[in-house]
Amino acid sequence: MNSGFLALALAAAALALAVMAGGCAAAASQDAAPKNMLTVFAAASLGEPFRAVADAFEADQPGVKVTFNFAGSQALRTQLEHGARADVFASADWEQMAAIRKENLLGNTPEYFATNRLAVVAPVGSNAVPSLDDLARPGVSIAIASEEVPAGAYARATLDLMAESADFPDDFAESVMANVVTHETNVRAVAQKVALGEVDAGMVYETDAKTGQLDGSFRVIEIPLQFNPAAEYPIAALGEAINPQVALDFIAFVQGDDGQAILRDYGFAPPANVACPCHDPVPTGSVAPSTPQ
């Protein structure tokens, strides 16, 4: 191989690398460019309410543009742990927020901003599950979120509480879990499978149930409060926030009267307690610990 060939090859390689680097730089500058762009990673169950909150926030703060990444909180946590850039993280449980906090990725102290609870939903046309007891009847098909998803963890805790009570048989939780045909990766996917009528019932949040009931796709079976631990949603700014001040403003807006009113419209209750269990050496959620059977 002569030196002219080598020089040309090197030049071409350099050019190719420059093009790739240019692409990366362009992508990176796209991340940083809009000064008032706010990126919010939020639990799937916050979809509609947070869009409405963002509309109000944008009207309140001209020039600010909010973009969302809605997914299961555990998926958002994984993305953030692997380097995703965001300004605000709103999780459906404390576990995911605690994991982010443990990695030192937060920019401020998380606070609870809303409370949700679970409900069982069934397709409108189906009579397979008239009451909670029927969830355990053989042959019924059920969708729940997977164990890693906050809604899935709450669902398992709820079933365990029911099994422990005198109102349900001792093997209630196992019987229901035996009827589960799919573990979805976020609570909205559970709601969607029920709305399509592909399963007889699903365990979702009351807020999802309310939305689906309003548009006529669900029948809602309420879960009594004693079996229904509060799902408390924490929110925090991220340490790598591109716009830390806008991030804090957004969080304050969510916690303020306007934000809370919108969340209430969508069925969320105000937080029982604003302070997160941030001083615990071992993060604990608000869910009662499930008892292994």
Partner 1 sequence: MIPRFLLGNGRTDGGRHQASLGALAPAGVAATVVYVLFIGLPIVALLARAGQQEGFLAGLTGELVLQALRLTVLTSVVSMVVVVAVGTPFALLLARRRSTLLRVIDTFVELPIVLPPVVAGVAMLMAFGRNGLLGPALGGLGVTLPFTTAAVIFAQVFVAAPFYIRAARIGFAGVDPTYEEVSQTLGVSPWATFWRLTLPVAWPSLLTGLTLAWARAVSEFGATIMFAGNLTGRTQTMPLAIMTAMESSLGSALALAVLLLAMSALALAALSVLLRRTGSTA
For residues 115 and 217, which CB has a smaller minimum distance to partner 1 in the complex? 217
CB of 69 to partner 1, least distance (A): 15
146 binds partner 1 (CB under 8 A): yes
20 binds partner 1 (CB under 8 A): yes
21 binds partner 1 (CB under 8 A): no
Q: How many residues bind partner 1 (CB under 8 A)?
A: 33
CB of 175 to partner 1, least distance (A): 16
For residues 277 and 40, give the distance between their C-alpha atoms in angstroms, rounded to a whole number. Answer: 22
Q: Look at the alpha carbons of 61, 67, 70, 76 in this order and tell me if their dihedral is positive or negative.
A: negative
For the chain, give percent helix, strand, coil, nearest 5. 45, 20, 35
For residues 51 and 285, give the distance between their C-alpha atoms in angstroms, rounded to a whole number. Answer: 26
Q: Please list every residue from 98 through 137 that binds partner 1, using CB under 8 A.
A: none
Query: What mask, x for binding partner 1 by CB under 8 A, covers residues 172 to 211?
Result: --------xxxxxx-------x--xxxx------------
For residues 108 and 47, give the distance between their C-alpha atoms in angstroms, rounded to a whole number. Answer: 23
For residues 15 and 252, which CB has a smaller minimum distance to partner 1 in the complex? 15
283 binds partner 1 (CB under 8 A): no
CB of 81 to partner 1, least distance (A): 9
For residues 157 and 114, give the distance between their C-alpha atoms in angstroms, rounded to a whole number. Answer: 19
Could you tell me which stretch among 6-14, 153-161, 252-260, 262-270 binds partner 1 (CB under 8 A)?
Answer: 6-14
For residues 115 and 185, which CB has a smaller minimum distance to partner 1 in the complex? 185
Bridge-partner residues for 122, per DSSP? 219
Count of residues in the chain: 293
CB of 263 to partner 1, least distance (A): 26
Q: Please list every residue from 54 through 83 that binds partner 1, using CB under 8 A.
A: 72, 74-75, 77-78
Q: Are 203 and 190 in contact, with CB atoms under 8 Å apart? A: yes
Q: Strand, helix or coil at 59?
A: helix
Q: Look at the alpha carbons of 253, 258, 260, 264 in this order and tell me if their dihedral is positive or negative.
A: negative
18 binds partner 1 (CB under 8 A): no
For residues 16 and 274, which CB has a smaller minimum distance to partner 1 in the complex? 16
288 binds partner 1 (CB under 8 A): no
Q: Look at the alpha carbons of 22, 26, 32, 35 in this order and tell me if their dihedral is positive or negative.
A: positive
The rounded radius of gyration (Å) of the Cα atoms in the chain is 23
Dihedral angle over CA of 36, 92, 260, 248, nearest 10 = -30
274 binds partner 1 (CB under 8 A): no
6 to each of 10, 76, 248, how far by Cα in Å?
A: 6, 46, 55
CB of 25 to partner 1, least distance (A): 17
Q: Which residues bind partner 1 (CB under 8 A)?
A: 5-6, 8-13, 15-17, 20, 72, 74-75, 77-78, 141, 143, 146-148, 180-185, 193, 196-199
